[in-house]
Amino acid sequence: MKKIFIYTVLLILLVLAMPLVLSDFGINLATEIYIMSIFAMSLGLIMGYAGMVSLGHAGFFGIGAYTVAVIGQYVSNSYLLLLISVVISGLTALITGVVFIRTSKFYFLMITLAFGQLLYVLFWQLKPWTGGADGMSVSAILNLGFGEILSPNAFYYVMGVAFIIAYILLRLFVESPAGKITKGIMENEARMSALGYNVRVYKLLAYTLSGALAGFAGSLYSYFNVFVSPDLSSWTFSGQVMVMVIIGGVGTLFGPAIGASVFICLQNFISTYTERWPMIMGAILVILVLIGKGGIIHWLRYFKDIIFLRKQTDEGAPQNQVKKEEVVN
């Protein structure tokens, strides 16, 4: 709990300090990063803590986004819309997860890919409700009880708070007995099953939580972008968020958020100079995979360990020298 408190305080300070140094463009970019970080952390949960690699995770993001866009035409209460988005996404994850978790590894990857493409085609074909390939604008306005949220700064703080809440929720789950059991299942499923744990229940729990959180991110994006399209549920979007997780660091909670930040910054800044920014992202991904040290957060930990080890070695050298002199004397 102490670690969660410290990390939460640091995140709050970061969210409060960023607008002091960012331009209007930077604030909008940071707002998008918060939303994508929630999405990336939701996928990072099942990839790094449950061992399930999904190429259909964008489907839940699209469900959350379209829920706000479609139901928002008739319902104005933002809390209710967000709740409906999370519930529908979570229920979809629960129902599909009952079938999906019966497969593993490559087969799980392919069945989630098929699921994502099914939703993509569904959003494409239901033109009277979703706008089809042209997408649809979002008429709902975010209002949390203290006025309509329209300014970039207001959106920034709301998304920042949402990011902190999502992080705390995931941290509590990962540190809980259920989270540790889920991690144990990923590392050795046969042993955990032999110990009497129902591995499918814990996998389904992680998958449902992940899907609900992805839907929450999609609903926030709908408010932020004021436009949704079937591309939000495509397999290419799922691939992008998977790249975010890998670059940031699989098996960590904050790594996917770092990966989302790097990905979006490269996408926005490098794309202004060249249309081939995906090649740069691909090169970074290949380097990380070939070197084998993990993602960015793993590299940071690696360098930290080297620095601290060197300091300990330097501090221990004089003491060893003194001991040798005492032995000689």
* DSSP notation for 143-171: B-SSSB--SHHHHHHHHHHHHHHHHHHHH
Angle (CA) 310-316-322 rounded to 5° is 150
How many angstroms separate the CA atoms of 182 and 107, rounded? Answer: 20
As beta bridge partners, residue 143 has 148
| Residue 288: closest CA among 250, 260, 238, 253 | 250
How many angstroms separate the CA atoms of 80 and 140, rounded? Answer: 12
- Confidence check: pLDDT of 96 > 60: yes
Question: Residue 258 has which token pair?
Answer: 């770092």
For residue 114, what pLDDT is reported?
93
Alpha helix ranges (H) inside 176-295:
177-187, 189-194, 199-225, 235-248, 255-269, 277-291
**Average pLDDT of the residues of the chain:** 87
What residues does each domain of the chain span? 2-233
| Residue 130: closest CA among 188, 78, 71, 209 | 71
Looking at the chain, the whole-number percentage of residues with pLDDT higher than 90 is 53
pLDDT tens-place string over residues 201-215: 999 999 999 999 999
For residue 23, what pLDDT is reported?
86
Q: Are 262 and 60 within 8 A, CB to CB?
A: no
Mean pLDDT, residues 70-96: 94
- Confidence check: pLDDT of 187 > 80: yes
Which range in 9-18, 112-121, 145-154 is most confidently predicted, on average pLDDT?
Answer: 112-121
pLDDT-derived band of residue 9, with 50, 70 and 90 as boundaries?
confident
Mean pLDDT, residues 78-92: 95
32 compared with 145, residue with greater pLDDT: 32
- Confidence check: pLDDT of 159 > 70: yes
196: alpha, beta or left? (left if phi > 0; alpha if psi -120 to 50):
left
- Confidence check: pLDDT of 280 > 70: yes
Q: Are 257 and 56 within 8 A, CB to CB?
A: no
For residue 1, what pLDDT is reported?
62
For residue 228, what pLDDT is reported?
94
Question: Residue 68 has which token pair?
Answer: 């706000």
For residue 169, what pLDDT is reported?
92
For residue 293, what pLDDT is reported?
64
From residue 30, give the alpha-carbon distance in Å to each of 148, 163, 246.
20, 11, 20
pLDDT tens-place string over residues 216-251: 999 999 999 999 999 999 999 999 999 899 888 888
For residue 254, what pLDDT is reported?
87
Q: Are 115 and 96 within 8 A, CB to CB?
A: yes
pLDDT tens-place string over residues 292-329: 667 778 777 777 777 766 666 655 555 555 455 554 44
> Who contacts 96 (Cβ-Cβ below 8 Å, separation ≥6)?
115
For the ranges 86-90, 123-127, 172-176, 280-284, the lowest mean pLDDT is seen at 280-284
How many angstroms separate the CA atoms of 184 and 298, rounded? Answer: 20
pLDDT-derived band of residue 74, with 50, 70 and 90 as boundaries?
very high
For residue 301, what pLDDT is reported?
74
For the ranges 67-76, 153-162, 272-281, the lowest mean pLDDT is seen at 272-281
Helix axis angle for 58-71 and 78-100, nearest 10°, is: 150
Mean pLDDT, residues 266-273: 80
Looking at the chain, the whole-number percentage of residues with pLDDT higher than 70 is 91
How many angstroms separate the CA atoms of 248 and 186, rounded? Answer: 20
Q: Is 280 exposed, middle or buried (0-12, 13-18, 19+ CB in 10 A)?
A: middle
